Amino acid sequence: MAVADPLRAARGLALLAPGVLLGGAYVSQYGFGLYPCEMCWWQRYPHFAALALAVAAWLRPPGTALLWLAALALAATSAIGLFHAGVEYGWWQGLTACSTDLPAGGDPLEAIFATPPVRCDVAPWSLFGVSLAGGNFLFSGLAAAAIAALLARGHGKKGLSG
């Protein structure tokens, strides 16, 4: 299937992929109570960067350099997702840092003791054996590869200005 404008498709995917994945992360957190551990947060930071880069690429077309950076950010979050999934599946040792979400108001010390920590080595949810971190690895990695392929295809048509 030929894409009529690969650079436009790359800009769309660079905007859509981190937007959807961040949206899913926040829906799972605030809608379903699946609070992020420390490594979950690490996966969100490159998504924020990719989203900002994609917006900048839309504002400054063709934005090829910005799109390459967005693809790199998606590849980075994919790598973090792979590491996190490996920790959850027990393939390797993880880090000891964990995080928790504290309720607003009241005594902070009491809230800390009353709130269980979110463990990085336990998958809070999975679908067909794939955890959220594993899903981030798959989807972000595929999006990064697709953006790179679209940019490579678009390079032949419009040059590498950016």
95 neighbors 39 (Cβ within 8 angstroms): yes
Residue 5 has pLDDT above 70, yes or no: yes
* Of residues 13 and 90, more confidently modeled: 13
pLDDT-derived band at 105, boundaries 50, 70, 90: low
Q: Which amino acid is at 63?
A: G
Query: What is the average pLDDT value for the chain, to the nearest integer?
Result: 85
Phi, psi of 18 (to 5 degrees): -70, -30
To the nearest 10 degrees (0 to 180), the angle between helices 38-59 and 64-88 is 170
Joined together, the tokens standing for residue 4 give 């009529």
* Of residues 151 and 94, more confidently modeled: 151
Quote the pLDDT of residue 81.
94
Quote the pLDDT of residue 161.
46
Q: Name the CA radius of gyration of the chain, rounded.
A: 18
87 neighbors 120 (Cβ within 8 angstroms): yes
Whole-structure pTM value: 0.79
Residue 159 has pLDDT above 90, yes or no: no
pLDDT-derived band at 141, boundaries 50, 70, 90: very high
Quote the pLDDT of residue 96.
60
Helix (H, G, I), strand (E, B) or coil at 100: coil
Quote the pLDDT of residue 160.
42
84 neighbors 133 (Cβ within 8 angstroms): yes
Joined together, the tokens standing for residue 107 give 């005594």
Locate the domains of the chain by residue range: 6-93+119-155
Residue range 27-76, pLDDT digits in tens: 999 999 888 888 999 999 999 999 999 999 999 988 899 999 999 999 99
CA-based nearest residue to 101, from 88, 113, 117, 124 = 117
Please tell me the distance from the alpha carbon of residue 37 to that of residue 14, in angstroms, as a whole number: 25
Quote the pLDDT of residue 43.
95
**How many C-beta atoms surround the C-beta of residue 41 within 10 A?**
14
